[in-house]
Structures are given as structure tokens and as C-alpha cells.
Amino acid sequence: MNRLMATTAALAALVAGLAAAEPPPAPASGGTPAERARAVVQRWEQVQGLRRARAEVFPRDAAFEISTGDNGPAMKVRFIDSGAGAYALLVQRPDGWRYGEFSAHAGLYWFVSDTLGLGQFVGTSDLVNLIRQARVTLLPDKLMEQASLPDVARDGRTFHVVGTKAPAQPVQFRLFDPERGTLVQVDTIDDRRQVTERIRYGDFREVDGVLEPFETVFGEGPQRVTLRAVKLANRFAPPPRFFEPSAAQVSLWQRTEDILKKYVAASGGYAALAQIVSRVTRIEVTNEGSGLTYQLTLSQKAPDFFLSEADVPGVGRTWQGFDGQAGWSYGELQGFRPIRGEELELFRRNGMLDLENFPKRFPIRRSAGIKEVNGRKTAALELANLRQRTGLHYFDLETGQLLRIEAELGAGGDGRVPVTIDFSDFRQVDGVTLPFRTDLRHPAFNTVTRVLEVKQNVELDPAIFRPRKDE
């Protein structure tokens, strides 16, 4: 109990805005601090129905509006929770874009979007974890420490405080409304006695005879996230297989998985690709419009470090890189600038050496059918992850090779420009297959790159990838 009680002395500093000008009265009940805490917690469990049988509550159908800050636009969410791990989530973002998540088993979920397609993910999404926190749950059964602390006052009202410490977990302070018995705030405290996380519960309404919070606020200030319940309905009766995508959707996604696995095999296979941890490539670049030709050197280091060095006639020496944290560009004429957004994501993809993990990097897929590229039949797949759409990829049906990527890049403001990249002249180097020619078509220019030399698994100092402003 020593650590918990020692923290009590700093309660006013830890829980900002809760300290009273004068000490409020202590809880009326007697007994030890642990016994008084248990009495507060038991009342809370009763008024909020936390010890009801699962069948009395689940499946639960809830609708929320989720916003950030004071006047942030609200995201509309419907969440159906089985209470046993399975769930269905339907989301409409403020920009009108909609998607869903379905999970029939804990630890695995499907992402569904009419725009992006279908994707399979391990774990639980951050949004689902946030929504589940909006419903208060029982305290852990195995608490190392639990004690009633001095009451605190806020806005002229007094609140009971219970401090808890669970194994391998930080100290938490829970504030309870002594009149209604409801939990109104949870503060998580680090070893420096600072509040690292705050959750506030409010707008309690009766649902099936117990009090439920219809508003939950995570954090403070302009970055706080507010969940407002629009509907809470218990004992929802979903139809069979409600928490799963359709069999047709799963079958289509599996076909995309087979296509991507064939691409990995065509590139050398999992074992050979996993052996490549660095690569230095010397390339000749030709601008077809101006006829300008120059050479550049690409240095790559696992997992996604990337450096491009070039000496362009009329432009001078230029460098572009990504060091695992920041993307950057520097030129003798243009100076230094950071690389962000889509351009940064493109850099990270350029630096990607672990092609064996290509299917995992892009788990969201949409089939665009069979298309012909330069006389070859290909499977066209729109690939994406939770960060970005990466464009339409064309895989040779016979060889499995990636022959073309069609994508759109930002062009300033809301503008977008189409870009097409064709890959050809595939050759084997150290057991992996690489395209030795790349044709890039952009509305402003067309370039052809030809690989002159490739060296793999060479020693590369991580310092060369860091942002620079000179040699």
C-alpha cells in the first residue's frame, strides 16, 4: 500500500482542476481505506449494472457521434458488440466517406469499403478500442492495492476518490459521484506523478434500469476526443453470420492474396528476398522530352531507409532521403525542404526491401478485373493500407511480375495528377528478380531509367540517410 498512499499526498497536483480551496469532508462510512473503497466500488457496480449477466446486455447496439476539440466535425458510428469478442462497426466520416469493420473472432477483423475494397487485419482497431472504453467495466479482480483517498471538490461538488494499483499497471484514481454512485472520471498516473491519461464520463441516463454514460471525453484541450451516444440498446438480435463478411467477399480477397503471393514468388521467393538487407543501385535516367541524360545512385537499407544522389546538368547535385523518421530533399540550387504526405509515403515504398512482406503491407484490396498491359494479360488490383491508397497495380497472370502502377499524386492545393510507371527487362541478381527498366509517364514529363549496376548486402552507414544541407 506504500506506493499508493505516498501518491495520495500529491493528489492535488496530479488531478489538475480538482483541488478544493478548503478540504472537503471525508466519506461518512468507517473502516479501513480499503474497506471504504470497496463500499464505493460496490455501489458503483450496482447502479451501473456491471455485474449483470452477459445475456442481459449483449449483443449491444450503440450509435455514437465522435468529435475532436471544441467544434470539430463529428464522425457517425454504429457499433454492435457481441460481448464475446465479435463485433460489427459502421463508420461515416465527416467527409461522407464510409467503411465498416467485422470481427467474428477476437484478434482478427475485416475492413470493408466500397471505395478501397476488403482487407484482413490482426488485432483490434484503435476506434473499436476507444468505443469499448466508453463503456465502463469492472475493476480487475486481482488488485495489488485499493484504497479510499480524501474526497476532492469540483464545481462546488464533492467526489469520492478511490486509488487502485493492478499488477504491471500504473496507479489510477477514480472519482465517484457520492449522490448517484456513478464513475465520473479516471486518471492514470505515471511514476513521476503526472496524469498521462484522463477519461471523463457524464450525461448519465437510465437504460434497462441502470445508469449509462451518454458522453465520454478522452483527454483535455483541443486534442480531446468526445463520444456522444445517440442510441444504446441491449439484447440486439443479429441475423446469422452478422459479424462476418460474405463468402463471396472472402473468396475474392483470397484470390487477391494468391496474386500477391505469386508476385513474391516471381520476385525470388520469401527465403531469397528475406536475405537482402541492403542494396546500392547505379541508374541512368533519360528525360524523353529534352533528351537530358544523367546518372543517379540509390542506396537502400532495411527496413525502409532510402537515399537518392544525382548530379543533374543545369541543376547541380541533389539528394533525397528517408532515415526511418523524416523524409527530406536538398539541392545545390533548390536548398533544403522536408518531404511529407504522399511524397513521403512514395519514398518509404521506394526504400522497401522486404518484398516478402508485400501482401502484409497492403492488406486492403479491390479487384479491377483483367486488363492488358503491353500485350500481356494482367490482374488489376487497387492496393491500400490504413494510411493511404497506393494506386492500381497490374500483375502478369502468367509470370506474376508487377508490370505497371497507375496512381494519382498531389499537385498542390486540391489538384491531382495521374502517374503511370511501367516495369520491364526483369533480371536475376543474387537470387532475386528486379526490373532493369522503368518508364514513368507524368503530364509534365516522361522519363526512362535503366539499371547499370546492382550491389546487394553491402555495408551502409545509417548516417548517410539523415537530412543534410551540404556534403
Q: Are 432 and 268 in contact (CB under 8 A)?
A: yes
Q: Is the pLDDT of residue 351 over 60?
A: yes
The answer as to whether 38 is a domain residue is yes
How high is the pLDDT of residue 14?
40
- Give the residue from 198, 226, 233, 235 showing the smallest Cα distance to 212: 233
Type of residue numbered 163: G
Task: Please tell me whether residues 61 and 46 are part of one structural domain.
Answer: no
- In this structure, how many other beta carbons lie within 10 angstroms of the beta carbon of residue 20? 14
pLDDT band at 470 (very low <50, low <70, confident <90, very high): low
Cβ proximity of 176 and 160 under 8 Å: yes
d(CA 195, CA 172): 9
Q: What is the mean pLDDT of the chain?
A: 88
- Please, where are the H alpha helices in 52-125? none
Is the domain of 327 the same as that of 404? yes
Which of the listed residues 218, 245, 272 is the one where a domain comes to its end? 245
Tell me, yes or no, whether 16 and 27 share the same domain. Answer: yes
Whether residues 235 and 160 fall in one domain: no
What's the CATH code of the domain at 28? Answer: 3.10.450
Residue 454's pLDDT band (boundaries 50, 70, 90)? very high
Could you tell me the end-to-end alpha-carbon distance of the chain, in angstroms, rounded to an integer?
A: 58
Q: What are phi and psi of 263, to 5 degrees?
A: -65, -45
Confidence of residue 142 (pLDDT cuts 50, 70, 90): low
State the average pLDDT over residues 208-216. 94
* DSSP secondary structure, 322-348, as one string: E-SS-EEEEETTTEEEEE-HHHHHHHH
Task: CATH number of the domain at 290, please.
Answer: 2.50.20.10
- Mean pLDDT score, 19-44: 68
Distance CA 460, CA 456 (A): 11
Say whether both 317 and 429 belong to one domain. Answer: yes
> What is the tens place of the pLDDT at every residue in 358-399?
899 899 999 999 999 999 999 999 999 887 888 999 999 999
Q: What pLDDT, on a 0 to 100 scale, did the predictor assign at position 29?
A: 56
Rounded to an integer, the average pLDDT of 437-464 is: 95
For residue 17, what pLDDT band results from cuts at 50, 70 and 90? very low
Burial of 271: CB neighbours in 10 Å, binned 0-12, 13-18, 19+: exposed
Question: Which tops the pLDDT comparison, 142 or 377?
Answer: 377
Range of the domain at 334: 247-465
Confidence of residue 117 (pLDDT cuts 50, 70, 90): very high
Is 70 exceeded by the pLDDT of residue 269? yes
Q: Do residues 298 and 342 share a domain?
A: yes
Grid cell listed for 205: 441516463
Same domain assignment for residues 16 and 126: no
Kindly give, in sequence order, each residue whose CB lies less than 8 Å from that of residue 240, ignoring residues fewer than 6 positions away: none
Q: What is the pLDDT of residue 441?
A: 93
Mean pLDDT, to the nearest integer, of 218-228?
94
- 9, 233, 274 from 191: Cα distances, Å: 14, 40, 41
7: pLDDT strictly greater than 50: no
Return the pLDDT at 413.
Answer: 60
Lowest mean pLDDT among 13-17, 26-30, 311-315, 353-357: 13-17
Per the model's pLDDT, the better-predicted residue between 144 and 13 turns out to be: 144
8 Å CB contact between 263 and 256: no
Q: Residue 379: how many CB atoms within 10 A of its CB? A: 22
Mean pLDDT to the nearest integer, 97-113: 92
Closest among 414, 469, 471, 415 to 444, alpha carbons compared: 415
Instruction: Give the residue among 283, 281, 282, 280 at the shortest CA–CA distance from 449.
Output: 283
Q: Is 437 found in the same domain as 349? A: yes
Q: Are both 388 and 337 inside the same structural domain? A: yes
Q: What is d(CA 158, CA 178) in angstroms, rounded to the nearest whole number?
A: 8
On whether both 182 and 212 belong to a single domain, the answer is: no
Based on the domain organization, do 128 and 20 belong to the same domain? Answer: no
pLDDT at position 427 is 97
Least confident of 79-83, 167-171, 205-209: 167-171
Q: What is the pLDDT of residue 101?
A: 96
Distance (Å, whole) CA 409 – CA 345: 11
d(CA 233, CA 453) in angstroms, rounded, equals: 65
Q: List b or e across 226-252, with b for residues whose CB sees 16 or more CB atoms inside 10 angstroms.
A: bbbbeebebeeeeeeebbbbeeeeeeb
Half-sphere exposure of 83 (CA within 13 A, CB side): 18
Q: Of 404, 350, 361, nearest to 383 (Cα)?
A: 361
Sequence-distant (≥ 6) Cβ neighbours of residue 317 within 8 angstroms:
309, 310, 311, 331, 332
Which backbone phi and psi does 213 adopt, to 5 degrees? -75, 125
- Banded model confidence at residue 1, pLDDT cuts 50, 70, 90: very low
176-202 pLDDT tens trace: 999 999 999 999 999 888 999 999 999
Residue 76 lies in a domain: yes
| pLDDT tens figures, 282-316 | 999 999 888 899 999 999 998 889 999 999 888 88
- Contact, 80 vs 106, CB < 8 A? no
* Beta-sheet strands, E only, within 84-222: 87-92, 98-105, 108-113, 117-122, 145-154, 157-165, 171-176, 183-189, 195-207, 210-218
What Å distances lie between residue 201 and 163, 371, 385, 441, CA to CA?
Answer: 17, 54, 33, 55
Share of the chain above pLDDT 70, in %: 90
Number of domains in the chain: 3
Residue written as cell 465498416? 100
Return d(Cα 136, Cα 182) in angstroms, integer: 10
Look at the pTM and tell me if it is higher than 0.75: yes
- 153 shares its domain with 266: no
Would you state the cell numbers that stand for residue 52, as one nine-digit string? 449483470
